[in-house]
């Protein structure tokens, strides 16, 4: 009986520990994204605020990989939609998922997954090459955000003018900061 118990524990506990670790990382990523969403600066000429969320998505995708990064962002959106003040400026509720920022939120999901895939292939291992997944992820966020904003505003040019152009400089800074933060993030994630 003791041998059977040892065999089961050797098989089960490493898997359980791995699952618990993954759940912890997913939950922590969601909380990080919620905290960075509170770094929010409303701009008077656009319905989209300047936030730290893009920076969070870049780090979450790169640090957690495709599946855990995807799960983390989905959890973030779900918790915010259910009423926790997780979205930009403390917003919450299902109405955010149909508002002006909805396309960006959907873009976060796809961006985290893509960044994670590219990171799993080693593109985030050097400062220089980390810009590739980060740039692709940012472009994905812009695409989803501007398409949805075009639907909301009824004008593609206006969507680009208020949904992308004001954020280009800040997002370049976020790309650089995320690349600089990667070594510290790797130490935490292992």
Domain ranges of the chain: 2-189
Task: Enter the tokens of residue 165.
Answer: 């152009």
Looking at the domain covering 2-189, what would its CATH class be? mainly alpha
29 compared with 178, residue with greater pLDDT: 29
Express each pLDDT in 115-169 by its tens digit. Answer: 999 989 987 677 777 888 999 999 999 999 999 999 999 999 999 999 999 999 9
The arithmetic mean of pLDDT across residues 83-104, rounded, is 96
Average pLDDT in the chain: 89
Q: What is the pLDDT of residue 10?
A: 54
């Amino acid at each position: 009986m003791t041998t059977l118990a040892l065999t089961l524990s050797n098989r089960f506990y490493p898997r359980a520990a791995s699952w618990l670790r993954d759940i912890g990382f997913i939950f922590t990523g969601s909380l990080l994204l919620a905290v960075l969403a509170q770094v929010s600066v409303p701009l008077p000429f656009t319905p989209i605020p300047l936030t730290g969320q893009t920076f969070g998505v870049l780090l979450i995708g790169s640090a957690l990989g495709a599946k855990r990064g995807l799960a983390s962002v989905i959890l973030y959106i779900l918790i915010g939609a259910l009423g926790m003040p997780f979205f930009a400026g403390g917003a919450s509720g299902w109405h955010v998922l149909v508002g002006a920022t909805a396309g960006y939120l959907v873009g976060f999901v796809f961006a985290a997954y893509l960044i994670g895939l590219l990171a799993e292939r080693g593109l985030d291992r050097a400062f220089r090459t980390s810009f590739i997944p980060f740039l692709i992820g940012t472009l994905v966020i812009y695409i989803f955000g501007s398409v949805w904003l075009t639907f909301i505003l009824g004008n593609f040019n206006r969507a680009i003018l208020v949904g992308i152009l004001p954020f280009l400089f800040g997002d370049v800074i976020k790309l650089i900061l995320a690349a600089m933060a990667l070594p510290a993030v790797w130490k935490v994630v292992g």
